[in-house]
Amino acid sequence: MRLRFLGGLGVLAAATILTTGCDSPPADTVKMADSKADAAAKAKASKAAKVQRAAAVKANELGQIPVLMFHRIVEKPATTDDRSPAQFRADLERLVREGYVPITAAEMVAGKIDIPAGKHPVVLTFDDSSPSQLTLNEVGVPQKDTAVAILKEVAAKHPGFRPVATMYITRDMFGKTVREEQAQTLQWLKDNGFDLGNHTRDHINLRGRSQKEVEEQISTIGKQITSLSGVKPTTIALPYGNQPKNKNWALHGPGYHHDGAFLAGYTPSAAPFSKAFEPAGIPRIKVMEKKGDCSQFCSEAWLDWLNKNQDMRYVSDGDPRTVAYPKFKNPYLRKTFATWALPY
Ligand SMILES: [Zn+2]
């Protein structure tokens, strides 16, 4: 047995030597070359199919993304920052009708935009961690008419509309003062696919503050969020939308590293794949009808504008590993995403 086996190897070696150098390559090499050519042809065909699919839905993954800014959801709005439950339901229903699918701020800044072909991403953000956004009963069910309860209701009615949002947390902790209750609330959010972001501990204006003060405000609440939930925030919303003297202090400091800092106004954001994307100052849009100060730069006006300017809006090709866009926009692709590029 053993001898025959060795003999077999010898024959194989001889055959290899004999065929090397002659015109026809050994059978194994031919096979390999064939499969390489096959693979290349397959890759080409699959890329062509991807390009075709992207073009069919007019994918534009260098287009603009609305990041909506909410505060309290209360029956009687006291300021123009508040929305009533009925208004918030209508806000969400409009997004459903117009083909938007929510992603989180963390997903956006990481470039993880996984929504179906032809759909538009929208980021829902809630500032100040108030009880009107989430209050849970004794068995962990969100109270009726809180922001989270409404978002889940609307999503249940419209499959495909993801019930996810980013909650920008301060020491207010959804009105909870007991550590165990704070942990329950934050862990519930994490377990239900919500994103936890930093909104500074005391909600102070960071403009003009020393580096030490800025870092302390950001790192203390960041650590608290992590110790309560295990989540390390990857984004921050700047109180009043004001950047510190050095805008990078909001992104990197002792114990924290953010991939994006969000402002308070006044335009849709560039896509994270675009050169126009500015991680230290990502614009958001206040949610409000077209009136008064909001006649031009709040959500109703901007959603109207994005509807009218389809070529400016982000449209997904349905594949999170590619960045698909009309070839004409090529100069705007961020270099870090060059290997994902799918121009058509
Ligand atoms: Zn705030």
pLDDT tens-place string over residues 265-300:
999 999 999 999 999 999 999 999 999 989 999 999
Q: How far is the CA of 291 from the centre of ligand 1 (A)?
A: 22
CA neighbor of 280 nearest in space, from 259, 253, 311: 259
SS (H, E, C) 124-190: EEEECCCCCCCCECCCCCECCCCHHHHHHHHHHHCCCCCCCCEEEECCCHHHCCCHHHHHHHHHHHH
User: Can you tell me the mean pLDDT for 182-193?
Assistant: 98
Quick check: helix, strand or coil at residue 306? helix
Q: What is the pLDDT, as a whole number, of residue 270?
A: 98
Q: How far apart are CA 263 and CA 243, in angstroms?
A: 8
Q: How far is the CA of 293 from the centre of ligand 1 (A)?
A: 19
Q: How far is the CA of 70 from the centre of ligand 1 (A)?
A: 9
Q: What is the pLDDT, as a whole number, of residue 272?
A: 98
pLDDT tens-place string over residues 41-96:
988 898 999 999 999 999 999 999 999 999 999 999 999 999 999 999 999 999 99
Q: How far is the CA of 259 from the centre of ligand 1 (A)?
A: 19
Decide if 165 contacts 142 (C-beta within 8 A). no
The tokens for 47 are 């890329």
Instruction: Record the pTM.
Output: 0.89
Listed residues: CB within 5 A of ion ligand 1: 127-128
Amino acid at 148: V
Give me the chain's average pLDDT, please: 92
DSSP H helical segments within 230-298, as ranges?
A: 294-297
DSSP conformational letter for 288 = -
Q: What is the pLDDT, as a whole number, of residue 28?
A: 64
Q: Has residue 156 got a pLDDT over 50?
A: yes
Q: How far is the CA of 283 from the centre of ligand 1 (A)?
A: 14
Q: How far is the CA of 118 from the centre of ligand 1 (A)?
A: 33
Q: Has residue 260 got a pLDDT over 50?
A: yes
Q: How far is the CA of 261 from the centre of ligand 1 (A)?
A: 13
Q: Has residue 208 got a pLDDT over 60?
A: yes
User: Can you tell me the mean pLDDT for 145-162?
Assistant: 98
Q: How far is the CA of 172 from the centre of ligand 1 (A)?
A: 11
